[in-house]
Amino acid sequence: MTGHTVDLRRKIDNAKELHAVVQTMKAMAASSIGQYEQSVESVGDYYRTVSLGLTARLRQRNAMTSLPAEHRNEQRPVIAVVFGSDQGLAGQFNEKIADFALDHLRGREDLLHLWAVGERVESRLTGAGLTIRGRFNVPNAVQAIPPLVGRILVANETQLAQAEHAEMQLFYNQPASGAVFEPVHQRLLPLDRAWIASLIETPWPTDNLPEVVGDSRVTLQALVREYLFVSLFRACAESLASENASRLAAMQRADKNIEELLEQLNTSFHRQRQSAIDAELFDLIASFEALE
């Protein structure tokens, strides 16, 4: 074979190896999406249980008056958690959520306690001039999400102990119909009064009305902690599902491009090989005619 044909063969072999890697990553991303979506559905049941507990507590007399004011307070410390990724090949996953968070947090940098989940989104936020209080590694499985949530809550224990003086916000990508994902913002603290009012008005699912026993303030604090835990868990799981969906879409595009490249390389290889065969035949015929 000629040198050009050998070079084409090497490119074809390399493309096939890359194609196999892309196929493996597609399978892994698709499998991960399923487990994270299932965890979101499962935690929804617990979220409803916590909501019922809050409903029982907030239906007590003067429950609304004991809650902090809902209006935005520019002097209130802001705990912001931005969920990103540690790995690449996920398209614009980190860029979109970082820019989305920057737009919401602009003007509140002085009282901002910013936490990044993921090395790549941390780099994006730092590059925009924000000071990161700390970074957490992205969980690699559903079982690793609860420890992460626990570390986030412990790291912000001082501010959360005075919930009426702190504001907690989450920024993460959420799976979306018609698109791979979309960035969303959720304010956890202070508790939204419209949401609380809707809880109070929700009919109780049974005829046995609930009763809060013991210190109602302690009960409310415990329920709020569970509300924070389940909200952080769901945000992390949806972010991970979105990350893998974005990676799957990127791998599908790469898969298509590699298949097109392989088709072009194979066509060029066969053309070069046929040209070499034709040249050898012409030489053989010319030699035979010269002998005659």
Domain residue spans of the chain? 3-20+250-291, 27-248
pLDDT of residue 170: 97
Options 1.10.3210, 3.40.190, 1.10.287, 1.10.3470; which CATH number does 3-20+250-291 get? 1.10.287
pLDDT of residue 292: 63
What is the value of pTM for the model shown? Answer: 0.80
Helix (H, G, I), strand (E, B) or coil at 142: helix
Using the Cα atoms of residue 242, residue 247, residue 250 and residue 251 in order, give the sign of their dihedral.
negative
pLDDT of residue 70: 52
> 168 is written with which tokens?
């907690």
Give the Cα-Cα-Cα angle 151, 155, 161 (nearest 5 degrees): 115
Give the CA distances from residue 136 to residues 30, 46, 61, 78, in Å, rounded to whole numbers and listed in that order. 24, 25, 41, 18
Q: What is the pLDDT along the chain (292 residues), one digit of tens a residue?
A: 566 777 878 888 888 888 888 888 888 888 888 899 899 888 888 998 898 888 888 877 555 555 544 555 556 789 999 999 998 888 899 999 999 999 999 888 888 999 999 999 999 999 999 999 999 999 999 999 999 999 999 998 877 776 567 889 999 999 987 668 999 999 998 888 788 888 888 888 888 877 777 777 888 888 889 999 999 999 999 999 999 998 888 888 888 888 888 888 888 877 877 776 766 777 667 676 677 6
pLDDT of residue 163: 54
Burial status of residue 90 (CB atoms within 10 A of its CB: 0-12, 13-18, 19 or more): buried
Options 3.40.1380.10, 3.30.450.20, 3.40.50.300, 3.20.20.140; which CATH number does 27-248 get? 3.40.1380.10
